[in-house]
Amino acid sequence: MSEAKKSDWDLRRDIVLVSRWMYDRQLVVAKDGNVSCRSGDGSFLMTPSGCCKGTVAEDDLVRVDMEGRVLSGSRKPTSEIVMHIAAYRARPDVSAIVHAHPITAVALSVAGITMAQCVVPETVIVFGQIPTAPYATATTPAMATALEGIVETADAIVLDRHGSLTLGRDVFDAFYKLEMLEHAAKITHAARLVGEVRSLPPDEVQRLLEVRQKLGITGPVHVDPKHCNLCGLCPGPPGKQRGTARPAPVESPTGSDY
């Protein structure tokens, strides 16, 4: 069922469930992180400011409009509402957003290690690549500015020194993308501990993108020419071409493994 067709209670229940999953898996701690989703009337439900995601309840959620004005609810919306609104404005195809603080992904960003390279096959299939947004002071309008030029083309973003932002067709889709982002970060970290991290060769990247198309995975594919080998601009060994053109996405079927 699409988010637009779900009842208010169903949407609230979904946000609460995902919030508790995040807390239980230590993807957030204390009062970190926030979750939001679109309602059928064009407004948004989101977790309130200063709430623990492990104990948040349906009645705690706040309804806001696209300008951030509170329409209902007794609490203040998350202080990072500017980031959610900026993402929704840039992506009318997105119905839910999850912001978390995954430990390994954040640690990589602190160390200056990008996740934009094509290393894990499943990451290429689902995301293409995972870009890192520049550092911005939390809770300020700078957070929205940092997403410009990135959120339009990415469903999973590392926020430098801060956390992650994942976007989906519903809150579960956004949460699963968060899990995949952190899983890829853990693999990257573990690989760096034992040896050199080897990027996938361009011809295999192309095959994986073709798999993405066959699976019907929609959504944009972000390309960072400084780090990515999807677009052919990533610096590689002398005399070797990096990457090829990527196929356009098609409509997503129900029940895809990704």
Is residue 44 within 8 Å of residue 64, measured between CB atoms?
yes
Domains of the chain, first to last = 3-194 (3.40.225.10)
Q: Give the residue ranges of the chain where pLDDT is below 50.
A: 229-258
What 3-state DSSP class applies to 40?
Answer: coil
pLDDT at 139: 87
The CA distance from 71 to 237, in Å, is 56
For 29, 92, 177, 225, 250, the CA distances from 108, given in Å and listed in that order, are 18, 30, 18, 19, 32
pLDDT at 239: 32
What 3-state DSSP class applies to 20?
Answer: helix
pLDDT at 228: 55
Phi and psi, residue 156, nearest 5°: -140, 125
Total count of residues recorded for the chain: 258
The CA distance from 105 to 200, in Å, is 20
DSSP string computed for 99-115: EE--HHHHHHHHTT--S
The CA distance from 147 to 159, in Å, is 9
pLDDT at 245: 32
pLDDT at 217: 86
Just list the catalytic residues.
80
